[in-house]
Structure 1
């Protein structure tokens, strides 16, 4: 039995030896320091303490030389043995030269004088650290690699030190990441375990549960279908609950067939039993129990009872998805002239609602918006095909006075005509976002077209609220150049009334000749940058540390003392011998304390003749520049030489794009049409002399 164990240990050692060395390489040496003689097999220790450890000499065998071909020789030169731990080094540096360069740029070491004091990050209060971790780890609930990387970063931060453990874990479990079908089961086991035996009470840290429906319909390995009601019973501080369906996100069609999942009828009882008070919830039409959908009045009655429960008493944000015109049951059904929609009535039962989002709801038609609460602070309408400017204006006339944010994305029938009255109807609006990209209902054909005739006509001039902070208009299409000029002119001339605007983003598509479009683009992009873009100033290089600032301040103080009037000894009546007046400049010793290279100083003294020559040359160049600029102004138009009426200059980023590109669901760029990497003979080298006998036959 021991011989069998020794033989298996020797085989493992042989496999261990072949990891970092190429057997066919000439650099391979059986007696190398990283080879088998340093490897201590663990199988001999398993034989028992009664058997003594015997040292064995490895039997050296002569390896038979193999005939090498030319291709094998090339591979041998290409695959060199790598040092131990090379993969760890590569992973630590990001795995690419670009990652190393970016880290060097971001984390450039400070070279100026410093006191050497590192802030006591571990001494910050736990509440401050938790807020820092939450801010630095967003987003976490999106189905992207960035969200997974942020969650991994939080877990690693919790293992850094004891002071970071609790704040980082609280930031993670406030909205835990559930990206697999097994993670909901693990979370349920964690909150059901006795909290006294755990590191912290996890069930009291969870405030948000956002689940994709695919995590519920697909069963994990060796697990039963997950019952969300059991999880809700264990979360007393739950505030946000959303079950997300992939059909409710762009391109708003089911790419693959998904199994049906329904809201448990008893989920409200589970929330009430746990004492939860929700702040946000999501309704999806396809998840309503089938026994409720057979009768529309029964369905809306059940939804109303849910809204009137204790767990929904303080609901502030509601997302409604997938209710089309077939679900527009009315009360009473006989009176067709004045019948409020049942869904709008159900939404109105939420007394504290401030944020309403309607996604893919064709039920939003006619007077539907007039029956929803008129005290909303945020309204989002996405992929609602029946929403028009007239319908939106009717709602803004009654409920627009309290709006802070308005999001209108992918609504094929909604134009910009409502912008004419936006300032009067929404005086408190801060955020306006519109994405005019449209998607087809079928993947087999393209019916993503706009249902309006003109996005904005020539006689329609937008007006903007003075409280506007964020303006984002994407893929503006189907309009003339005069209408687009009205929109850009309203922003330029209304800059004085937009003191809070910080993030203007406009992507416009105008179908005009390319010469006219080039002039149009140069004019309005330059004018918007001139009016809104902030002039960046380089930071003071002497503020790198407190010690650097003190040294620079003392040097400036000494220079000011030296520039004062010099007093010479003499008679009492003659107090001053002479006065030396020098221009103000930064002292040389003060510049030495900066870690940024300063430009070379220019000479301050010039001879009289040289000064005259310099002045004459400067005046001549100035005249030439004025003549060239005047001729350029005459050729380019009057807008270049006319000063703007008001310069706001408070936006760090002004993103304006003007082209004639047709917006499509899949945008193809130059990278999609490049040839693939050439494949073929890897042994060929450019410039190598190859005889006719060594050439390939193909």
Structure 2
């Protein structure tokens, strides 16, 4: 006989007692050994030896019993998942019935509780899914809703004590209301020509009051959002071409600028009549001054279009301009929309409607790389310069993605330019720009140099002398790869500024915006920053200062470098704001303040004298300097803002930079550094974050839904089942 090594498991009986005899029989067997009882009951029938019963009834009984055992095993597997097994042993025969009743009642209660809990969980999950489906989808990176009543309470604006007199806004003049609506509604569309909420807002303002109708509609139709309204584009164009006869306003005279997407010109109204409708639209707008037909691909990251453009400037448009009395001030030439070269541009510029141009934009005009040195024909640079030379009133010039901008074209540009914008031109260098500024920079007031991969900062050495009227200097040194898979977006110069080069700054500067300065040493960066600090006294009109740089040093040195220069720029250029007096918010607030003070309102001749006297008294008591912050009436009116008086502001007003502390203030005073203190915007950042095509910030990683515990009702749901 074979010996089995498998451990015998005790059998569990699933047979229910059918009569009192079975119950008594089970109770009598309680005194037996548990091991023998379980082993005899849990033995499977298939392991038992088959009895030799040739009769058919016996086989049927065995099959029936096998089916019953299979059913019992299935019920056992299901019951094991739901019920809890109790291993408590009975102490006596009398207590066995009570324990059995308590165990059964406990199991029933547990089963009921689990059933209710599972139903509650299911209903809660279903409700949560329905709520998620019904909740409108929010934009990626949108601001979260307030998670507490405290946050909502903090955002409630402070109550303003007034007399309740509402100004008569409808009585304001037309030109003031127009400025208000234009300022409040800008922009009407985003950079992707998508509509903004300003469009319906202007419509509502036009319907609110009869005095608001004309200024609100003028602000809407000044630059009509034709391509921002896809569904009503056709109706808007037809409305401008032929206004309704019962209209009270002349909409055609409101339009001053047309900004059109050249890639969707065929769908201006319909594919058949789009060209004719464009001609009719330009002819009907009698006060049109600016036309900008652009390509959406001509913006960062400045990639080439895979498909060739089929739309070109139609001759009918220029014929309509010749027949009209329009005198344009701004135009945008795109090389992909031109069927001819720069020589054709010169012929077009000789027309009357182009002779009044003041601003011109040139996009994707490339130099002829196949030209040989022995060719006697005029170069592309010479032809383009001659086309610009026939425009007598041109004072603003913009180049975008033009390889024709190089050392050959720059000396031939007009000398009366006031604004120059060179963007994403790879062939422009400081060697070409520096001589141009010396000869053509006398009247220059705005210089914008963005995304030029070969342009460094060496031209700043002579900037003060070459451009004395310069007011805006902006450079964005972020570069883009030619292809999305390539990585050729690094600067093509060796050093952005040599150590021996010291920049000079024109006295008329109002805005300095320099982003992502890199590829220089710590000594060069120190020289650059010191040049601005030392020129603070010569920059009285500077109001905006933004500098973002990378310094390739150890992280500890970079932290000290950042702390030092951030504090110095804040102390020297940042305007020290004072909290407005809350008692001067309205006449009623001032009367209540004087009543609480118990003083006579006739003591002072004016409110301003009272405030000045109070400020002088407070600042004289708190300041360690002998000079007061504000001049008194006894002082001469011809006194100038000296460095001594301006330095006193460092002691009287706390600094915005919390990291600098009092040490930086004392250092500024000890070094006798001039405190300009008139810039309302001072942004100074030093880090090693490499510029990318898309910079991710905190708003890109915010959850679309609330991340708090708003769904928690105070009861923790505990699942007794295993997770897997």
TM-score using structure 2 length: 0.67
* Structure of higher CA gyration radius: 2
Distance 1:397 1:348, change over 3 A: same
Deviations 1:581-619 (A, max 9, x none): xxx989xxxxxxxxxxxxxxxxxxxxxxxxxxxxxxxxx
Q: CA RMSD in A?
A: 3.9
Deviation of the 1:660 alpha carbon: 1.6
For residues 200 and 354 of structure 2, the distance between their equivalents in structure 1, rounded to whole angstroms, comes to 33
2:353 is aligned, of 311, 315, 332, to 311
5 Å matches for 1:201-280?
Answer: 201-218=250-267, 224-227=273-276, 228-254=278-304, 257=307, 259-280=309-330
Residue number in structure 1 paired with 2:211: 163
Q: Please, which moves more after superposition, 307-316 or 217-226? A: 217-226
Distance 1:675 1:375, change over 3 A: closer
SS in 1 for 2:402: coil
5 Å matches for 1:477-488?
Answer: 477-488=518-529
Deviation of the 1:666 alpha carbon: 2.8
5 Å matches for 1:14-93?
Answer: 69-75=119-125
SS in 2 for 1:320: strand
Task: Say whether the 8 Å CA contact 1:384–1:411 is kept in structure 2.
Answer: yes
5 Å matches for 1:237-636?
Answer: 237-254=287-304, 257=307, 259-289=309-339, 292=340, 299-326=341-368, 334=376, 341-552=382-593, 558=599
Task: Say whether the 8 Å CA contact 2:327–2:354 is kept in structure 1.
Answer: yes
Task: Say whether the 8 Å CA contact 1:260–1:286 is kept in structure 2.
Answer: no
Deviations 1:388-439 (A, max 9, x none): 0010012111110000000000000000000000000000000000000000
Runs of 4+ in 1 over 6 A off after TM superposition: 98-107, 219-223, 327-332, 554-557, 560-563, 670-679, 683-687
1:645 is aligned, of 657, 663, 673, to 673
Distance 1:131 1:672, change over 3 A: closer
For residues 358 and 269 of structure 1, the distance between their equivalents in structure 2, rounded to whole angstroms, comes to 27
Distance 1:132 1:332, change over 3 A: farther
For residues 640 and 468 of structure 1, the distance between their equivalents in structure 2, rounded to whole angstroms, comes to 23
Task: Say whether the 8 Å CA contact 1:181–1:218 is kept in structure 2.
Answer: no
Task: Say whether the 8 Å CA contact 1:315–1:350 is kept in structure 2.
Answer: yes
Task: Say whether the 8 Å CA contact 1:212–1:244 is kept in structure 2.
Answer: yes
For residues 519 and 455 of structure 2, the distance between their equivalents in structure 1, rounded to whole angstroms, comes to 12
For residues 362 and 486 of structure 1, the distance between their equivalents in structure 2, rounded to whole angstroms, comes to 32
Deviations 1:493-538 (A, max 9, x none): 1100000000000000111101111111111110010001111111
Distance 1:266 1:672, change over 3 A: closer
Deviation of the 1:141 alpha carbon: 4.7
For residues 148 and 173 of structure 2, the distance between their equivalents in structure 1, rounded to whole angstroms, comes to 33
Deviations 1:169-222 (A, max 9, x none): 011101111224555532331123255422311111111000122331457678
Distance 1:74 1:107, change over 3 A: closer
SS in 2 for 1:108: coil
For residues 170 and 462 of structure 1, the distance between their equivalents in structure 2, rounded to whole angstroms, comes to 46
Deviation of the 1:347 alpha carbon: 1.1
Deviation of the 1:273 alpha carbon: 2.5
5+ residue gaps, structure 2, are 1-117, 137-142, 605-612, 616-660
Task: Say whether the 8 Å CA contact 2:223–2:255 is kept in structure 1.
Answer: yes
Deviation of the 1:246 alpha carbon: 1.8
1:125 is aligned, of 148, 170, 173, to 173
2:238 is aligned, of 176, 184, 189, to 189
Deviation of the 1:550 alpha carbon: 4.2
For residues 101 and 147 of structure 1, the distance between their equivalents in structure 2, rounded to whole angstroms, comes to 35
For residues 657 and 353 of structure 1, the distance between their equivalents in structure 2, rounded to whole angstroms, comes to 37
Distance 1:525 1:333, change over 3 A: same
SS in 2 for 1:466: coil
Residue 657 (str. 1) matches residue 685 (str. 2) = yes
5+ residue gaps, structure 1, are 1-67, 88-93, 293-298, 564-583, 587-631
Task: Say whether the 8 Å CA contact 1:307–1:349 is kept in structure 2.
Answer: yes
For residues 272 and 451 of structure 1, the distance between their equivalents in structure 2, rounded to whole angstroms, comes to 46
Deviations 1:129-165 (A, max 9, x none): 1111112222235435896222232222212211111
2:248 is aligned, of 184, 192, 199, to 199
Distance 1:410 1:72, change over 3 A: same
For residues 330 and 339 of structure 1, the distance between their equivalents in structure 2, rounded to whole angstroms, comes to 13
Distance 1:130 1:106, change over 3 A: farther
Task: Say whether the 8 Å CA contact 1:330–1:342 is kept in structure 2.
Answer: no
For residues 372 and 348 of structure 2, the distance between their equivalents in structure 1, rounded to whole angstroms, comes to 19
Deviation of the 1:638 alpha carbon: 9.8
Distance 1:328 1:135, change over 3 A: farther
For residues 325 and 436 of structure 2, the distance between their equivalents in structure 1, rounded to whole angstroms, comes to 36
Deviations 1:549-588 (A, max 9, x none): 345457768369999xxxxxxxxxxxxxxxxxxxx989xx
Deviations 1:365-405 (A, max 9, x none): 12201111111000000000000001001211111000000
TM-score using structure 1 length: 0.70
Aligned residues: 541
